[in-house]
Amino acid sequence: MADFAVPGALACAQLFGTWLLTTGVDRPLGHGQWTAVAVSVIGSCLALIWRRVAPVPVLAAAVLLNGAGLLAVQSTETLVAGLSDGVALYSVAVQRGRRVAMAGCLATFTVAFAVALPVEQTASDLALNEALNVLYYIVVTALGQLRREHRERRDRLAERLAGADRERSAAAGSERERLARDLHDVAGHHLSAVVVHSGAVARRSDPELTAAALSAAAETGRDVLKALSRLVDVMGTESEDGELDAMLPALCQGLIRVGVPVSLVVEGAPSASRGPLLATLRRARALRGAAEEPRASGLRPEVGTAAYRIVQESLTNALRYAPGASVAVEVRHLPDAVEVAVVNEAPSEGGSVPALGTGRGIAGMRGRAKALGGTLAAGPDESGGWSVRAVLPTSPAAPAGTRRGPGWPEVLDAAVVVFCAILPPLLAFLPPDPALGGWSADGSVLVVIALVARAVPLWWRRRAPYLTLGALILIDVGWALTAGARSVGLLGVLVLGCTAEMIAVYSVAGHARPGRPTWPAPFAATLPWAVAWTVLLVTAPDARPGPWTIPFGLAGGVLFGALVLLPFWAWGRTVTGRGQRWETTARETVATRTGEAVQAERHRVALGLSGTVLEHTARLVRIAEAGAAGTPQDAREALDGVVEQARAALIDMRALLDALDEE
The pLDDT tens digits of the residues spanning 484-506 come to: 777 777 887 777 778 888 999 98
With beta carbons less than 8 A apart as the criterion, state whether 313 and 361 touch.
Answer: yes
Contacts of 294 (CB under 8 A, 6+ apart): none
Residue 650: its pLDDT value, please?
Answer: 82
Of 75-79, 380-384, 578-582, the least confident: 578-582
Distance between CA atoms of residues 299 and 306, nearest Å: 11
Residue 598: its pLDDT value, please?
Answer: 64
Of 279-293, 315-329, 342-356, 369-383, the least confident: 279-293
With beta carbons less than 8 A apart as the criterion, state whether 258 and 230 touch.
Answer: yes
Greatest mean pLDDT among 4-18, 92-106, 388-402:
92-106
> Could you tell me how many helices (H) and strands (E) the chain has, helices first?
24, 6
- The pLDDT-based confidence of 441 (bands split at 50, 70, 90) is confident
Share of the chain above pLDDT 90, in %: 11
Greatest mean pLDDT among 152-156, 356-360, 367-371:
367-371
Of 177-181, 197-201, 590-594, the least confident: 590-594
Specify the long-range contacts of residues 325-328, CB closer than 8 Å, at least 24 apart. Answer: 325/353, 325/385, 326/260, 326/261, 326/262, 326/263, 327/255, 327/260, 327/261, 327/262, 327/263, 328/262, 328/263, 328/265
pLDDT tens figures, 529-568 = 898 888 888 887 676 777 788 888 889 889 988 998 998 8
| pLDDT over 70 at 287, yes or no | no
| pLDDT over 50 at 300, yes or no | yes
Rounded to two decimals, the pTM is 0.56
Q: What are phi and psi of 338, to 5 degrees?
A: -120, 125
With beta carbons less than 8 A apart as the criterion, state whether 458 and 417 touch.
Answer: yes
Distance between CA atoms of residues 28 and 22, nearest Å: 6
Residue 577: its pLDDT value, please?
Answer: 59
What is the rounded average pLDDT for all residues in the chain?
Answer: 77
Distance between CA atoms of residues 61 and 39, nearest Å: 12
Closest CA to 385 of 427, 348, 336: 348
- The pLDDT-based confidence of 240 (bands split at 50, 70, 90) is very low
- The pLDDT-based confidence of 457 (bands split at 50, 70, 90) is very high
* DSSP structure class, residue 394: S
**Count of Cβ atoms closer than 10 Å to residue 150 Cβ:** 15
Residue 205: its pLDDT value, please?
Answer: 76
Residue 336: its pLDDT value, please?
Answer: 79
| pLDDT over 60 at 196, yes or no | yes
| pLDDT over 50 at 79, yes or no | yes
- The pLDDT-based confidence of 267 (bands split at 50, 70, 90) is confident
Give the residue-averaged pLDDT of 462-486: 88
Greatest mean pLDDT among 25-34, 173-182, 273-282, 463-472:
463-472
| pLDDT over 80 at 190, yes or no | no
Of 74-78, 186-190, 241-245, 342-346, the least confident: 241-245
Q: How far is CA 352 from CA 67, 329, 347, 424, in A?
A: 79, 19, 7, 70
The DSSP-derived string for 358-371 is TSHHHHHHHHHHHH
pLDDT tens figures, 16-45 = 888 887 776 666 777 888 888 888 889 989
Contacts of 636 (CB under 8 A, 6+ apart): 202, 205, 210
